[in-house]
Amino acid sequence: MTGAGGRTVLVTGASGMLGGGVAARLVADGWDVRALQRRPSGVVGAADVLGSVTDPDAVARAVDGVDAVVHLAAKVDIVGPEQEYRAVNVEGTRTLLAETRAAGVPRVVFVSSPSVAHVGGSLVGAGAGPAEPAHARGPYARTKASAELLALGADAPGHRVLAVRPHVVWGPGDTQLIGRIVERARAGRLPVLGSGAPLIDTTYVDNAVDALVAAVVAPDDAYGAAYVVTNGEPRPVRELIEQICAANGVPVPRLRVPAALARGVGAGLDAAWAHLPLPGEPPLTRFVAEQLSTAHWFDQRRTRRALRWEPRVSVDEGIARLAAHAGVPWTAPAPVVGRP
């Protein structure tokens, strides 16, 4: 996308993989990019505004005079006291929206998660259901659900808001998903839950970046709604994990754990970490166990129509790029020729 000449966009949370990618792409597209986060974003060509989204003054300075905001800043861990999530995810979003409204920012893209609408069980070809703060699983999903409702509730003429929910974003350099899988597999602590067959839809980071940039410039009638973004290529969870491990040169998991047992153990560990002063994060949470033993894939037709966006990097190509990044020799499978 080019021709943004002279227009300014704010990206919050640009120090992460996705936020950094979005900021860099917007720079390349000719936007004047500001990046708001607590530490330097490292994005070449972006003007850092150091601060937290929970600080109204910092936010006010950051949104002043911008044409659009892409709001990624969030607490995305899987454990920890709910109030910490609430402070960043809910109150930070409330602060941001108050300031964008006051500053007359025309467009806000709120980056959300499909987990805001997931209340347990398998999602099979699902659409983007309404956010359910009361029923979503885990503190991250619950607080993001509340925040999404706030964001879409702030959609008004002259201050349009759109929510994008990328599902399981991954790519080279990702510390969240890829990093955890590789680290645990290397330590021999990564089990396969159940059959490993449930289909999981994921999003290669470049595609998520494309979708968020497409959202910034999407037609007006796309605003006021939430869209799930994925590669549209669900794969069995075991196959994905095996390929990620192989592309990083770590052993493929051999240990099998029944899915029900894993969910029970996860629930127990959740309780332990919630009530005891334990370091780090638990080896497994109920949320993660559920995610790995149920299907999660989505109907992408509405998203692609509304955002006028298509994923460009396939899962196979993404895996090949992981291998290249890790320096592991990789033979890409024959590309898909086309569809009927």
Site for another protein contains 71 (CB under 8 A) = no
> Is residue 231 within 8 Å of 41, Cβ to Cβ?
no
Q: Give whichever of 125 and 268 is closer to another protein, judged by the CB atom.
A: 125
Distance CA 194, CA 200 (A): 14
Nearer to another protein, 281 or 317 (CB): 317
Measured from the CB atom, is 197 or 271 closer to another protein? 197
User: Which of these ranges, 104-112, 155-163, 213-221, 230-238, lies near another protein under the rule CB under 8 A?
Assistant: 230-238
Kindly state the smallest distance separating residue 229's Cβ from another protein, in Å.
Answer: 14
Give the bridge partners for 152, in sequence order: none
CB 314, min distance to another protein, A: 8
Min CB(136)–another protein separation in Å: 19
**197 scored as a contact of another protein (CB under 8 A):** yes
- Phi, then psi, of 51 in degrees rounded to 5: 160, 175
Q: Which pair of structure tokens corresponds to residue 226? A: 């939430």
Q: Which is nearer to another protein, 91 or 316 (CB)?
A: 316
Interface positions, 236-295, toward another protein (CB under 8 A): 236, 238-239, 242, 259, 293-295
Among 180, 166, 107, smallest CA distance to 296 is for 166
Q: Would you count residue 134 as binding another protein (CB under 8 A)?
A: no
Distance CA 30, CA 170 (A): 26
Residues 6+ apart with CB under 8 A from 277: none
The amino acid present at 92, given as its one-letter code, is G
301 touching another protein, by CB under 8 A: yes
Q: Which residues of 217-247 are buried (b: 16+ CB within 10 A; e: fewer)?
A: bbeeebbeebbbbbbbbbbebbebbbbbbbb
Contacts of 254 (CB under 8 A, 6+ apart): 192
Residue 183 makes CB contacts below 8 A (sequence gap 6+) with: none
Q: Which of 85, 140, 204, 223 is catalytic?
A: 140
Catalytic residue status for 140: yes
CA-nearest of 226, 215, 204 to 148 is 226
Asked if 176 touches another protein (CB under 8 A), the answer is no
Residue 183 binds another protein, judged by CB under 8 A: no
**Which residues, in sequence order, are bridge partners of residue 256?**
192
Verify binding: residue 340, another protein, rule CB under 8 A: yes
x-marked contacts with another protein along 38-67 as a string, rule CB under 8 A: ------------------------------
Q: Does residue 235 belong to the site contacting another protein (CB under 8 A)?
A: yes
124 near another protein, rule: CB under 8 A: yes
Partner residues linked to 199 by β-bridges: 236
Q: Which is nearer to another protein, 276 or 337 (CB)?
A: 337
Interface pick for another protein out of 3, 158, 219, 338 (rule CB under 8 A): 338
What does the alpha-carbon distance between residue 289 and residue 36 come to, in Å, rounded to a whole number?
Answer: 33
Catalytic positions: 140
Residues that bind another protein (CB under 8 A): 122, 124-125, 194-199, 232-236, 238-239, 242, 259, 293-295, 297, 299-301, 333-334, 336-340
